[in-house]
Amino acid sequence: MAASDRILRFVHAADLHLDSPMRGLERYEGAPAHELRNATRQALEKLVTYCLETQVDFLIIAGDIFDGDWRDFSTGLFFRNQLSRLAAANIPAFLLHGNHDAASQITHHLQLPKNCHTFSHARPETHLLEDLGVALHGQSFPQRKETRNLALQYPEAVPGMLNIGVLHTALEGRPGHGTYAPCTEQDLQRKHYQYWALGHVHRTEIFPNRDPWIVFPGNLQGRHARETGPKGAMLVQAQGNQITQAEHLTFDVVRWHHAHLLTQNIRPGRTLRDEIQNILRDCTQDPSPQAPELHAVRLTVHLSNQTFERTAPERTAPETQIDHRLLEQEIRALTYDLPQPTWLEKIVWSHPAETQLNQKEDSPLDNPEATSLHALKGHLQAIQNDPQVHTQWLQSLQPLQKKLPLEVLQSADMPWQPRESNIRKSDIDPSDISPSDIHPGDSPLDSILVEAELELQRRMSARGTKP
């Protein structure tokens, strides 16, 4: 059968982050530490098993195979053993190194099986699979902070073949990810490849203009509560030199969720416990064969003003009648009745923000309605001296910033930038920072963002305008 007639199938994965350290687990009583720490390995095992069982034509891993330099050789040995399984079935693997496992970051090396081809970090190169009619083009990172537009130097498409570009990049930028190997969608289009196998961004994304196909598969395994939802890789199908289909397959063994409950939306006759139980069930119901072995849930309960009532006339401040500690234990007990194994990582009780910050009288943030924006300001001030954390949260803020009134954006009181004296000290990729590093307490900024956006929507609605 000619290469132009047969249906070709390959798997495109990225961002394995093998043996990524699970920081802060010791703070969580009853945390399934073994399952969490082994999750990246088990996800790779599932991926390789799928490739073997379905006999795909080849595997692509588009960077960040490792989370950094190996703490010991067991990381490299495990990866090599998985590639050996593919080699025994004559399935080639094409590997590219990104910012986490750049040539300058990895000091230990093992010889890989002959079926593995690692793209050079010195210059772009092309690997041909002539029997399949495929040309793969790529370049690994020589150093962690790769600021060049690598795509510009990629070779031109090989005529008559299916051309695949492999690149580790966030293009012009994605929230929560360092802008490495920056390039534009137009840069990729000019190469006239049929498929771009990208890595670095941990969310699945398929660009709408499928000429060429530009795809982020997301990471193979979520590592914390900011990497939520199904994680896995892309199964891509082609015929001749045309891509015909790309499907996301899940391989995660631990699936992270961040659930939100607004108590003001609880229906009459329903209790807080009822609503939380429903939310947990919705999060963890997955009857598919590729369901994870464990669900990890962070629950944020947004308490409305109605939840805070004075229980006696002599009370001088609002108080809640909820016993948080008792309720938390009851909620954790609910997880044992769920259809799939579930770990409740954290419960965040988000109280109606009180104006506790000293504001200038002429500040636009002095509006008594802007309580959540006050809280947002407070959190930004608290992390202003830590530029890498500040950068992480500013990227998360971008969608909200586009909706804020001009007076808030231009306010001198809102600390949109980290302190200048600390900026040059930061050499950390924002995507490296996990919530456990940022929030040792129980008031994560992402909860404040949800509240601020809800508040903004209410204020805009009251003015008769769209946010």
Whole-angstrom distance, CA of residue 72 vs CA of residue 237: 37
Q: What is the DSSP string of 227-265?
A: S-S--EEEEEEEETTEEEEEEEEE--SEEEEEEEEEGGG
Whether 139 and 124 have beta carbons less than 8 Å apart is answered as: yes
Backbone angles phi and psi of 296, in degrees to 5 = -115, 120
Last residue within a domain, chosen from 223, 250, 277: 250
Q: What is the mean pLDDT of residues 332-361?
A: 71
Whether 266 and 376 map to the same domain: the answer is yes
Q: Which two tokens stand for residue 449?
A: 């963002």
Q: Which two tokens stand for residue 27?
A: 């703070």
Residue 45 confidence (pLDDT): 96
Whether 181 and 302 map to the same domain: the answer is no
State the DSSP code for 196.
E
Whether 54 and 179 map to the same domain: the answer is yes
Asked if the model's pLDDT at residue 1 lies above 90, the reply is: no
Counting the structural domains of the chain, the total is 2
Percent residues over pLDDT 90 in the chain: 37
pLDDT digits (tens, 9 = 90+) for 18-47: 888 665 665 677 788 888 889 999 999 999
Asked if the model's pLDDT at residue 224 lies above 60, the reply is: yes
User: Is 56 domain-assigned?
Assistant: yes
Give the domain extent around 324: 254-463
One-letter amino acid at 411 equals S
- Burial letters 397-419, b for 16+ CB under 10 A, else e: beebeeebbeebeebeebbeebe
pLDDT digits (tens, 9 = 90+) for 313-344: 333 333 345 667 788 888 888 888 888 899 99
Last residue within a domain, chosen from 235, 250, 265: 250
Residue 401 pLDDT class (50, 70, 90 cuts): low
Q: What is the mean pLDDT of residues 272-280?
A: 88
Whether 213 and 199 have beta carbons less than 8 Å apart is answered as: no
Looking at per-residue confidence, does 92 or 383 come out higher?
92
Whether 178 and 46 map to the same domain: the answer is yes
State the DSSP code for 177.
B
Q: What is the mean pLDDT of residues 414-423?
A: 48
User: Is 2 domain-assigned?
Assistant: no
Residue 305 pLDDT class (50, 70, 90 cuts): low
Asked if the model's pLDDT at residue 415 lies above 80, the reply is: no
Whether 240 and 306 map to the same domain: the answer is no
Whole-angstrom distance, CA of residue 241 vs CA of residue 211: 12
User: Is 410 domain-assigned?
Assistant: yes
The mean of the pLDDT values for the chain is 76
Whether 317 and 217 map to the same domain: the answer is no
User: Is 111 domain-assigned?
Assistant: yes
Asked if the model's pLDDT at residue 216 lies above 50, the reply is: yes
Whether 380 and 275 map to the same domain: the answer is yes
User: What global pTM score does this model have?
Assistant: 0.73
Looking at per-residue confidence, does 455 or 132 come out higher?
132
pLDDT digits (tens, 9 = 90+) for 251-266: 999 999 999 988 888 8
Percent residues over pLDDT 70 in the chain: 65
Strand spans (E) along 107-266: 116-118, 125-129, 134-138, 162-168, 195-199, 205-206, 213-216, 232-239, 242-250, 254-262
User: Is 205 domain-assigned?
Assistant: yes
Last residue within a domain, chosen from 194, 225, 250: 250
User: Is 1 domain-assigned?
Assistant: no
Whole-angstrom distance, CA of residue 117 vs CA of residue 274: 53
Whether 246 and 341 map to the same domain: the answer is no
pLDDT digits (tens, 9 = 90+) for 78-100: 999 999 999 999 999 999 988 87
CATH number at residue 26: 3.60.21.10
Whether 290 and 390 map to the same domain: the answer is yes
User: Is 358 domain-assigned?
Assistant: yes
Residue 238 pLDDT class (50, 70, 90 cuts): very high
Residue 383 confidence (pLDDT): 55
Whether 325 and 282 map to the same domain: the answer is yes
Highest mean pLDDT: which of 14-28, 108-122, 225-239, 305-319? 225-239
Residue 466 confidence (pLDDT): 47
Residue 165 confidence (pLDDT): 97
Whether 292 and 220 map to the same domain: the answer is no
pLDDT digits (tens, 9 = 90+) for 438-460: 332 333 444 455 555 555 555 55
Whether 88 and 209 map to the same domain: the answer is yes
Of 341-355, 369-383, 387-401, the poorest mean pLDDT is in 369-383
Q: Which two tokens stand for residue 369?
A: 């309605």
User: Is 131 domain-assigned?
Assistant: yes
